[in-house]
């Protein structure tokens, strides 16, 4: 028995022998819990000790209690669960911070409610202030796209550009169109589309993908102070959800904001700051001057887009949409440029991360990744495909074969699953959000949220991956249930898999001595909870690098 215990307790400072070293007391210990370590072969323990920001020991209560000294803070878990800090591998983090303070249309389920919320929000804002964010979803009221007439009367003094929750289309009001000089005869840029009223040939206010830039370019840039506030709000929100690291798919302005916070000691979360792939040469120059950051904030990733989204009918498929036979999607970036950026960015040693949703977009991208790897020679490059949502039969095995990381968001499956079949038919949904097939084929799955497209809520994501119950309740046994994963697999994709997708798995993501003490206390042991109840489990405490950065009140 004692030999067994000894093997569980791996001490940082005493690799040999079973006697703990009381002369090195822990800063913080967790006792009496259900600890899921994430370590293959040794996933379960009772207790964890933390010292100087690192995991000091993981083992039984008795073993860890021996590390208690005068100044040690003791957290009694009483059966609650400890897991490695959650890693959200895909967020639009600063946008999320702004969204926390903007109009919320996510669950508006009628045109009246949509209009009422915007009107009410405008009443409290100084005249001239832009109303953005929103995250509306027209599928909630049957699929009619909103029109500017719905909101004009309530927003005479406020320009509005509110987005669909996938960020691939937006509604502008008349004032916003007027400020931007957009009319029915405005030329729409490549990769975009402007919806016109069939009678008047005037814009309805709906702008898709690149056409959103016609209006968004006249929105004043946020000030540094506004960006800092948005970041701080996003960090607080993330920590309250147990997220200790995220990969921000964003801009250079975001990177500047993160660096300010890092320099001020305000960055309580780890961030991998990814910049647009079209700017890879700027990244090359920036890295030559500034390096690639540290374990709290790092960069070196490049983000591109092949196509749009399913919800906006702009994901790029081999075959036309079932409900819009005139289209099979839209390329949001001209493929010749994107191909060149991928090959050159990879050739310069950077980490290439590209959005692909439709089956043709995924096939195209897998081809280009293959070409880039051949051109630039072997290395640990970890190409990522963001969303990897609809895959052709041949694509699934290519992820493993080419070592491409599918970076996926389980919440999207239970959200899009409400109406995806209407859009692409019964055949193509079989390889939609194919988590199970990808894992079985050996693909290195990473999970995330895509906040603000979906809520930044890992427990909701785990629930989605385990149950595949669509949000409308129409699929109690799961939508395409063959693609469900296990709890252990979902946790791994939100910890080790996500860490690996940002080159951080050696330092975090498993509760092992010597790794950073990034961990989360959950109100219940997920392995004892019916998967259907997982969303009701609470995050009680979040720890980053040994510091308790969130504690649930009450």
CB-based burial, 302-316: b 16+ in 10 Å, e otherwise: bbbbbbbbbbbbbbb
Asked if 88 interacts with Zn ion (CB under 5 A), we say no
Nearest to 491 by CA among 35, 89, 83: 83
Taking the least distance from each CB to Zn ion, the nearer of 82 and 407 is 407
Minimum distance between the CB of residue 167 and Zn ion, rounded to whole angstroms? 7
The answer to whether 331 and 316 have CB atoms below 8 angstroms apart is: yes
Taking the least distance from each CB to Zn ion, the nearer of 162 and 354 is 354
DSSP assigned state of 458: H
- Which value, to the nearest 10 degrees, does the dihedral of the CA atoms of residues 298, 304, 307, 313 take? 40
Minimum distance between the CB of residue 407 and Zn ion, rounded to whole angstroms? 10
Taking the least distance from each CB to Zn ion, the nearer of 63 and 457 is 457
Minimum distance between the CB of residue 91 and Zn ion, rounded to whole angstroms? 8
Nearest to 349 by CA among 304, 379, 369: 379
Minimum distance between the CB of residue 23 and Zn ion, rounded to whole angstroms? 49
Residue 251 to residue 94: CA distance in whole angstroms: 10
Minimum distance between the CB of residue 303 and Zn ion, rounded to whole angstroms? 8
The answer to whether 352 and 372 have CB atoms below 8 angstroms apart is: yes
Taking the least distance from each CB to Zn ion, the nearer of 346 and 450 is 450
Give strand pairing partners of 209: 192
Nearest to 259 by CA among 246, 244, 271, 242: 271
**Which two structure tokens, joined as six digits, stand for 273?**
């700051």
Minimum distance between the CB of residue 311 and Zn ion, rounded to whole angstroms? 13
Taking the least distance from each CB to Zn ion, the nearer of 409 and 467 is 409
Considering only residues 427 to 486 of the shown chain, the ones binding Zn ion according to CB under 5 A are 450
Nearest to 118 by CA among 165, 152, 141, 95: 152
Closest chain position to Zn ion (CB): 450
Sign of CA dihedral 438, 385, 360, 490: positive
Taking the least distance from each CB to Zn ion, the nearer of 450 and 457 is 450
Taking the least distance from each CB to Zn ion, the nearer of 204 and 362 is 362
Angle at 188 between CA 185 and CA 191, to 5 degrees: 160
Q: How far is CA 97 from CA 227, 230, 441, in A?
A: 8, 4, 37
Taking the least distance from each CB to Zn ion, the nearer of 344 and 450 is 450
Angle at 370 between CA 437 and CA 346, to 5 degrees: 115
Taking the least distance from each CB to Zn ion, the nearer of 95 and 421 is 95
Considering only residues 6 to 25 of the shown chain, the ones binding Zn ion according to CB under 5 A are none
Minimum distance between the CB of residue 339 and Zn ion, rounded to whole angstroms? 21
Minimum distance between the CB of residue 542 and Zn ion, rounded to whole angstroms? 23
Strand, helix or coil for residue 176:
helix
Minimum distance between the CB of residue 409 and Zn ion, rounded to whole angstroms? 8
**Contact residues for 163 (Cβ-Cβ < 8 A; gap 6+):** 132, 133, 134, 135, 136, 169, 170, 212
Taking the least distance from each CB to Zn ion, the nearer of 359 and 450 is 450
**Contact residues for 73 (Cβ-Cβ < 8 A; gap 6+):** 27, 28, 29
Taking the least distance from each CB to Zn ion, the nearer of 33 and 301 is 301
Tell me the backbone φ, ψ of residue 121, rounded to 5 degrees. -65, -40
Minimum distance between the CB of residue 209 and Zn ion, rounded to whole angstroms? 13
- Which value, to the nearest 10 degrees, does the dihedral of the CA atoms of residues 381, 384, 390, 392 take? 0
**Which two structure tokens, joined as six digits, stand for 99?**
């969204």
Minimum distance between the CB of residue 432 and Zn ion, rounded to whole angstroms? 17
Give strand pairing partners of 408: 447
Minimum distance between the CB of residue 450 and Zn ion, rounded to whole angstroms? 4
Count of residues interacting with Zn ion (CB under 5 A): 1
Look up tokens 């309740």; give the residue. 473
Taking the least distance from each CB to Zn ion, the nearer of 210 and 450 is 450
Query: How many other β-carbons are positioned within 10 Å of the β-carbon of residue 366?
Result: 23
Taking the least distance from each CB to Zn ion, the nearer of 356 and 511 is 356
Query: How many other β-carbons are positioned within 10 Å of the β-carbon of residue 284?
Result: 14
Nearest to 269 by CA among 232, 306, 301: 232
Taking the least distance from each CB to Zn ion, the nearer of 450 and 540 is 450
Q: How far is CA 164 from CA 141, 171, 309, 408, in A?
A: 13, 8, 11, 20
The answer to whether 518 and 84 have CB atoms below 8 angstroms apart is: yes
Contact footprint for Zn ion (CB under 5 A): 450
């Amino acid at each position: 028995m004692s030999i067994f215990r000894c093997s569980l307790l791996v001490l940082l400072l005493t690799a040999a022998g079973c006697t703990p070293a009381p002369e090195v007391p822990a800063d913080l210990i967790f006792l009496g819990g259900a600890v899921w370590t994430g370590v293959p072969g040794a996933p379960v323990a009772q207790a964890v000790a933390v010292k100087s920001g690192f995991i000091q020991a993981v083992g039984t209560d008795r073993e860890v209690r021996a590390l208690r000294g005068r100044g040690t803070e003791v957290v009694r878990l009483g059966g609650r669960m400890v897991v490695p800090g959650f890693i959200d591998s895909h967020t639009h983090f600063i946008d999320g911070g702004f969204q926390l303070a903007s109009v919320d249309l996510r669950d508006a389920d009628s045109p009246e409610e949509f209009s009422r919320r915007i009107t009410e929000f405008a009443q409290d804002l100084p005249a001239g202030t832009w109303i953005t964010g929103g995250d509306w979803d027209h599928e909630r009221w049957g699929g009619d796209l909103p029109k500017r007439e719905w909101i004009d009367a309530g927003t005479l003094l406020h320009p509005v550009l509110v987005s669909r929750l996938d960020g691939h289309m937006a509604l502008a009001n008349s004032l916003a169109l007027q400020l931007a000089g957009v009319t029915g005869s405005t030329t729409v840029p490549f990769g975009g589309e402007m919806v016109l009223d069939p009678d008047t040939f005037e814009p309805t206010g709906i702008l898709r993908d690149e056409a959103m830039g016609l209006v968004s370019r006249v929105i004043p840039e946020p000030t540094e102070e506004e960006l800092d506030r948005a970041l701080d709000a996003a960090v607080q929100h993330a920590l309250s959800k147990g997220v200790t690291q995220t990969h921000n798919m964003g801009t250079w302005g975001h990177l500047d904001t993160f660096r300010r916070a890092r320099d001020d000691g305000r960055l309580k979360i780890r961030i991998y700051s990814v910049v647009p792939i079209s700017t890879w040469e700027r990244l090359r120059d920036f890295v030559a001057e500034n390096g690639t950051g540290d374990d709290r904030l790092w960069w070196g990733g490049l983000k591109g887009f092949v196509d749009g989204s399913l919800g906006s009918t702009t994901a790029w498929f081999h075959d036309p949409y079932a409900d819009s036979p005139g289209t099979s999607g839209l390329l949001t970036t001209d493929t010749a440029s994107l191909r060149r950026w991928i090959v050159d960015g990879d050739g310069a040693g950077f980490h290439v991360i590209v959005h692909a949703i439709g089956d043709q977009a995924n096939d195209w991208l897998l081809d280009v990744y293959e070409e880039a790897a051949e051109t630039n020679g072997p290395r640990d490059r970890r190409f990522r495909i963001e969303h990897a949502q609809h895959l052709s039969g041949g694509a699934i095995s290519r992820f493993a074969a080419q070592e491409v990381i599918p970076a996926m968001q389980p919440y999207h499956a239970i959200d899009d699953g409400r109406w995806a079949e209407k859009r692409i038919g019964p055949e193509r949904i079989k390889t939609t959000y194919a988590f199970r097939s990808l894992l079985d084929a050996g693909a290195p799955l990473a999970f995330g949220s895509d906040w603000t497209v979906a809520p930044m809520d890992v427990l909701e994501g785990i629930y989605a991956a385990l149950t595949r119950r669509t949000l409308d309740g129409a699929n109690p046994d799961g939508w395409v249930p063959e693609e469900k994963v296990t709890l252990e697999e979902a946790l791994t994709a939100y910890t080790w898999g996500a860490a690996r997708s940002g080159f951080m798995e050696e330092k975090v993501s498993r509760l092992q001595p010597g790794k950073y003490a990034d961990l989360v206390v959950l109100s219940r042991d997920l392995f004892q909870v019916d998967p259907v109840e997982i969303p009701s489990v609470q995050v009680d405490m979040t720890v980053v690098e040994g510091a308790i950065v969130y504690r649930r009140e009450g």
